Amino acid sequence: MKMRNMLAALMIMALMLMSGCARRSGGADQPALPEPENTPQATAQPSAEPGMAAELVPERLAAGADGVPMLKVYDVDRETMEELSVEDYLPAVLAGEMAGDWPLEALKAQAILARTFVLQFVSQKESMYDGADISTDIREAQAYNPDAVNDRIRRAVQETRGLVLNAGGELPYAWFHAHSGGLTARAKEGLDYEKAEPGYTQCVRGMEDDEAPPEAANWEAVFTAEEVLAAAKDAGASAGELTGISIGQRGESGRAMTLLISGKEVSAPAFRIAIGSTKMRSCLLESIRVEDGKVVMRGKGYGHGVGMSQWGANAMARQGRTAQEIVLHYFRGVTLSRAWE
């Protein structure tokens, strides 16, 4: 159980949902798949000018001369501690998480989530590096690439200055992923989230289009029996030999929540992390079978599927949607607030 909890925590950090999602039924190796065209889009939310919400800033962060909270950031590549304002920290994060030539409104949506993420992290967690508020280590924080910062990224940060998601006076988990495969997921489904389901997650259309690369929309992976058994053990289910593999429980978006490996149940999100999330790109499995002593998987999407789809944000921005419209599509019952001027 301790290993399972640790894997779940890493999934949430690595990053680091509406009822009634339609899906068609399937057999053991043909799991239920989403039908996004039959799923209503998110209900339109208010688009008023964001109000001030300075109370969302963690108390332990002192404000700099310009009123922006200061962060102690440990850079794992340079092995140095640097003090940066949140606004000066964000461009390198944005450059690490999204391509710098993407539409401005998509970059702005990512900036809002990145700002929310770091404030929520500081308010809820301690960095694994002594004396740091946060680090550049992707095991606990967001990607970080100062070398890829460009003017478009700087503009996205500047034009969203101080903006964060506000879930009833609290900072939500600002989850995002690369490609939903058609529908986003709630936290318990996509992340094996152990607490009560947050009120702001929902299952909605991912909004991706054909501009997304094929390898993000669809994937296939082959694993040896040894790789599967080792990953199952890391995820909390030991088996002496591989006698079969199938889908156990499925969530409302069609994602596998559990797998049955040699008859033993294991968390699908935990198994995905253990076996390699860049190979098993999602838990939205189209088929899974044992063939010639190896496990062959086919699936859709890339990432855990919770929160904002980055390729969906790209498509929405190209369709003329604003950053606010984008983030409010993926998170329900939230507003945008300005934590500082």
Q: Are 236 and 229 in contact (CB under 8 A)?
A: no
151 with 63, same domain: the answer is yes
User: Is 179 within a domain?
Assistant: yes
132 with 94, same domain: the answer is yes
Q: Which tokens in the block code for residue 245?
A: 């593999």
207 with 219, same domain: the answer is no
User: Is 32 within a domain?
Assistant: no
Tell me whether residue 147 is exposed, middle or buried, using C-beta atoms within 10 angstroms of its C-beta: 0 to 12, 13 to 18, 19 or more: exposed
Cβ atoms < 10 Å from Cβ of 81: 15
Q: At what angle do helices 104-124 and 310-318 cross, to 10 degrees?
A: 140
55 with 166, same domain: the answer is yes
What is the sign of the dihedral through the CA atoms of 178, 184, 190 and 194?
positive
What separation in angstroms does the CA of 313 have from each of 89, 183, 208?
22, 13, 8
Q: Which tokens in the block code for residue 274?
A: 């253990």
- Pairing mode of beta strands 258-261, 264-267: antiparallel
User: Is 99 within a domain?
Assistant: yes
135 with 277, same domain: the answer is no
Q: What are phi and psi of 242, to 5 degrees?
A: -90, 105
The parent domain of residue 45 ranges over 2-22+39-211+304-338
Q: Domain count of the chain?
A: 2
Q: What is the pLDDT of residue 43?
A: 58
- To the question of pTM greater than 0.85 for the whole model, the response is yes
3-state SS, residue 38: helix
Beta-carbon contacts of 210 under 8 Å, excluding residues fewer than 6 positions away, are none
70 with 90, same domain: the answer is yes
172 with 92, same domain: the answer is yes
User: Is 27 within a domain?
Assistant: no
Cβ atoms < 10 Å from Cβ of 293: 9
DSSP label at residue 307: S
Q: What is the pLDDT of residue 186?
A: 97
Half-sphere exposure of 310 (CA within 13 A, CB side): 25
How far, in Å, CA of 76 to CA of 73, rounded? 9
User: Is 34 within a domain?
Assistant: no
Q: Which tokens in the block code for residue 260?
A: 């049955």
Pick from 332, 341, 41, 15: which is nearest to 166 by CA? 332
User: Is 328 within a domain?
Assistant: yes
241 with 273, same domain: the answer is yes
295 with 311, same domain: the answer is no
User: Is 83 within a domain?
Assistant: yes
Half-sphere exposure of 143 (CA within 13 A, CB side): 15
252 with 148, same domain: the answer is no
Residue with tokens 């019952």: 333
Beta-carbon contacts of 315 under 8 Å, excluding residues fewer than 6 positions away, are 207, 208, 209, 211, 212
Q: How many helices (H) and strands (E) does the chain have?
A: 10, 16
248 with 271, same domain: the answer is yes
Per-residue pLDDT 10s for the chain (341 aa) are 434 444 444 444 443 433 333 333 344 455 456 577 666 666 556 555 788 888 999 999 999 999 999 999 999 999 999 999 999 999 999 999 999 999 999 999 999 999 999 999 999 999 999 999 999 999 999 999 999 999 999 999 999 999 999 999 999 999 999 999 999 999 999 999 999 999 999 999 999 999 999 999 999 999 999 999 999 999 998 888 999 999 999 999 999 999 999 999 999 999 999 999 999 999 999 999 999 999 999 999 999 999 999 999 999 999 999 999 999 999 999 999 999 99
Half-sphere exposure of 276 (CA within 13 A, CB side): 10
How far, in Å, CA of 233 to CA of 187, rounded? 23
User: Is 31 within a domain?
Assistant: no
94 with 6, same domain: the answer is yes
